[in-house]
Amino acid sequence: MKSGILVVNKPKGISSAGVVNRLKRLLKVKKIGHTGTLDPFATGVLPIAVGKATRISKYFLKGVKGYYAQVTLGIETDTCDCTGRVTHTASSAPLAALDSDHIKDVVAGFWGPQEQIPPAYSALKHKGQPLYKLARQGQIIEKPPRPIEIMSIAMENYRMDTNGHPIFDMSVLCSGGTYIRSLAHDIGVALGCGAHLSALQRTRSGQFKIEHALDLDCFEKMSPSDIDARFICMSRCLDFLPAIVANSETAGKVKHGQPLFVTEFPMPDTLLIAGDKNDAKNSMLDIRVLDSDDNLLAIVTPDKYGKTYKYCCVFNA
C-alpha cells in the first residue's frame, strides 16, 4: 500500500476517528490518521494521511479552511451547534425584526483578523483533558481568545426552516483553528436573537478541496489498485514548500543522514510562499528534498547560520 494522502468526503454521523478506523481496516495499515477533526454532524473534506505521510500531517493542520454552513437564528445551545442542549430561545419580537439585508451586513462585519473564544465543547485540552469531556462532567473551561482570520464570508438563502425558525446559509474561508460553531454563536449575539450552527460542510482543507474528495463508502467498494490511484503522493501534497532535486550522491547522503552543506546543495531562490495554498507560517524555511523521479526523500531546514541543513524528516531510510 502506498504512502500519501487520501481525501475523504466525510459523511454525517461519524467521527473523524471513526473514518480513520474504517480506512485502517480497509487498507490493513498501522500508520494512518486525519489532518484535522470534523465534528460527527459535519460533512466534507477530511484528508487522511497513510503510512509515511502521517509524518507530514503537521503541515496541513494550520492550512486555510473553507466551509459552507447553515445557521439557525433564535436558538442557542450549550455546544453552539445542533447537537447541544437548548439554552435560550428568542421571543417573537427580535425574530420578527430580522431583515435579510441587515443580517448580510452583520455577517460581513466578521470579515478580517480578529480574536475568537473557542467553544467549551471542543477538542482543545485543559491539563491534559479535552474540554468537551470536562464540559460533559459539568466543568466549563473558558479558554482565552485566540487570533483567527476570516478571509471571506457571505450570507445567502435566508428562509424559514420546517419548524418556522429563520435560517441562512453562509460560505466562509478562514484560517486554521477557526470554530464555525463559535462564529455562528457570535453572529447570533451580534443580531440580538441568538443562533447556533445547524449544519456544516467543509469544502476545503489547505490545498485539498471538495472536488478532490471521494465518499467513504466509495473507498470501501473500490479495488486495492483503484484506491492506490486515489493517493496524492507526499511530494505533491507539499508542493507549497520549495524543493531541491538531489543527485544520486546527495540522495545517498540523505538516506544515511549524513551532513548536507548549503554550499554543495544551494537553497531554492524562493522559500515558502504559503498564500492561497496553505498558511504554514511555522514552516517558513522547510524545504523538500526530491529525487529525479519526484519522490520525497526528506524535509530539511537551514541551520541558523545558513551553512548546513537540519533534517526534519527522512522518508527513505
Any idea which residues carry the catalytic annotation? Answer: 39
Q: Please state, in angstroms and rounded to a whole number, the distance separating the CA atoms of residues 206 and 62.
A: 8
Which residue, chain included where needed, has cell 439585508?
Answer: 101
Q: Please state, in angstroms and rounded to a whole number, the distance separating the CA atoms of residues 140 and 117.
A: 13
Task: Tell me the residue type at 315.
Answer: F
Host H or E run for residue 71: strand 65-73
Give residue 93's region: left, alpha or beta (phi > 0; psi -120 to 50): alpha
- The candidate with the shortest Cα–Cα distance to 268, out of 289, 294, 249, 282, is 289
Q: Which residues contact 16 (CB under 8 A, 6 or more apart)?
A: 10, 34, 36, 37, 38, 46
- The candidate with the shortest Cα–Cα distance to 311, out of 287, 281, 277, is 287
Q: Please state, in angstroms and rounded to a whole number, the distance separating the CA atoms of residues 83 and 120.
A: 14
Host H or E run for residue 314: strand 308-314
